[in-house]
Amino acid sequence: MYIFLDPLCSACWDLQPIIRKLQVEYGQYFTVRTVLSTQLSNLNTVCTKPNEHLVKSNGDYLDMEHPVFPSIAVKAAEFQGKKAALRFFNKIQEHLFLKTKNVTSFSVLQELAIEVNIDVQEFSNDFRSKECARSFQSDLNITCEMEVTSFPSIVFFNENIEDEGIKVSGIYPYEIYVQILNEMLYEEPHKQQPPSLEKLFERFYSLTTSEIACYYNISEPQAERELKKRLLLQQVDRLVLQDTVLWRLK
């Protein structure tokens, strides 16, 4: 399953609970390859300097802003592990939708790396590296080869290399993705039982109340009560994002 995402796309945030539910219930049948990309117009945007008097970062890099920086930054975070990259991607989107920080700024991206416990020096070096540039270019090439022009998009493949993939652009009800999985497997997939809440948090970093209720087939008030118990025990943190409440392990 190839998932094409742009960190600056709000719909990519909306797709996240659907992908997670697929992983929780049917993750034994597929692997996820996340492809980071951006709108073509963003690639043609010139870097800007928010303040002409800013000093150079690490002596060789001005504090610049560019809409493609978040995608490159997630690729840089991947050099410290996929979990680190996922935490970083989520943190970018949190601040993007809260409108608390300008996530297209390199200096802000450095701050976010610190927030999610990424080695900021290593991150900064990787961000500037040829290896990171090649990794991002590879994602752009895959985006072009699979003719993906909008985000989010998912391309499903099965083990039969002669079968064509199925591309789904935009967001659809969860049942549609299960139906596609069924078609790709040529059989009805077996639903798994959800893991413990701690393992879910370790895997996905942050979760909404509605996601947790959905995974365990309980009501949202029940999920809220269980999470508040853990909050009192200082096992989790609670973050309010506009109309959404996020929970994460301390």
Helix H segments across the chain?
A: 10-26, 40-43, 69-78, 82-98, 106-115, 120-128, 130-145, 174-185, 197-204, 209-216, 220-232
SS3 (DSSP) at 91: helix
pLDDT tens, residue by residue, 138-167: 999 999 999 999 999 999 998 877 778 899
Angle of helix 120-128 relative to helix 69-78, nearest 10 degrees?
Answer: 120
What are the two backbone dihedrals, phi and then psi, of residue 240, each rounded to the nearest 5 degrees? -95, 120
What are the two backbone dihedrals, phi and then psi, of residue 125, each rounded to the nearest 5 degrees? -65, -45
Strand order in the sheet with 244-249: 206-208, 244-249, 236-241
If you count DSSP H runs as helices and E runs as strands, how many of each does the chain have, helices first? Answer: 11, 7
Residue 146: CB atoms within 10 A of its CB come to: 15
Share of the chain above pLDDT 70, in %: 92
Residue 186: CB atoms within 10 A of its CB come to: 9
pLDDT interval class at 55 (50, 70, 90): very low
Per-residue confidence (pLDDT) for residue 71, from 0 to 100:
94
229's tokens: 């118990």
Per-residue confidence (pLDDT) for residue 145, from 0 to 100:
93
Least confident window among 46-50, 121-125, 196-200: 46-50
Strand order in the sheet with 166-169: 33-36, 2-5, 153-156, 166-169
Asked if residue 51 has pLDDT above 90, the reply is no
Pick from 30, 13, 27, 74: which is nearest to 200 by CA?
Answer: 27
Sorted by where each starts, the structural domains of the chain and their CATH numbers stand as 1-49+64-189 (3.40.30.10), 197-249 (1.10.10.10)
Evaluate the omega torsion of the peptide bond into residue 152 and state whether it is cis, within 30 degrees of 0. Answer: yes
Asked if residue 241 has pLDDT above 80, the reply is no
> What is this structure's pTM?
0.85
Per-residue confidence (pLDDT) for residue 59, from 0 to 100:
41
Asked if residue 16 has pLDDT above 70, the reply is yes
Per-residue confidence (pLDDT) for residue 54, from 0 to 100:
38
Long-range contacts of 210-214 (CB under 8 A, 24+ apart): 210/17, 211/17, 211/20, 211/21, 212/247, 214/17, 214/21
Contact 124, 57 (CB under 8 A): yes
Q: What is the mean pLDDT of residues 34-59?
A: 62
Decide: residue 38, CB within 10 A, 0-12 exposed, 13-18 middle, 19+ buried: buried
CA 216 to chain centre: 23
